[in-house]
């Protein structure tokens, strides 16, 4: 079972994808460390679990398309969280 689904099943909060890179790509509008938009980053702290799960699903798709080198150390994308 993927870690995010396991967290949800165990009532654990969805982890933040932040890697403290915080470098926005001007062309795509995504953070190069976590692939979130500025809006997603700003909403994360107060976002519902459903919002966070939906963002995570998009992050994996964005990573597959863009593969920023800055995200290479993000275990979530390496291990398929």
Burial 10-25 (b: 16+ CB within 10 A, else e): eeeebeebebeeeebe
Q: In the chain, what are the domain boundaries?
A: 3-79
* Cβ(21)–Cβ(15) below 8 Å: no
Predicted local distance difference test score (pLDDT) of residue 41:
97
Predicted local distance difference test score (pLDDT) of residue 79:
64
* Cβ(43)–Cβ(51) below 8 Å: yes
Predicted local distance difference test score (pLDDT) of residue 1:
42
pLDDT in tens, 16-73: 999 899 999 999 999 999 999 999 999 999 999 999 999 999 998 999 999 999 888 7
pLDDT band for 2, please (50, 70, 90 cuts).
low
């Amino acid at each position: 079972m993927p870690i995010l689904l396991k967290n949800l099943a165990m009532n654990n909060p969805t982890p933040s994808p932040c890697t403290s890179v915080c470098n926005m790509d001007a062309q795509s509008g995504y953070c190069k460390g976590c692939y979130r938009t500025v809006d997603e980053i700003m909403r994360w702290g107060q976002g519902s679990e459903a919002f966070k799960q939906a963002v995570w699903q998009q992050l994996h798709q964005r990573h597959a398309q863009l593969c920023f080198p800055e995200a290479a150390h993000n275990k979530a994308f390496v291990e398929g969280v």
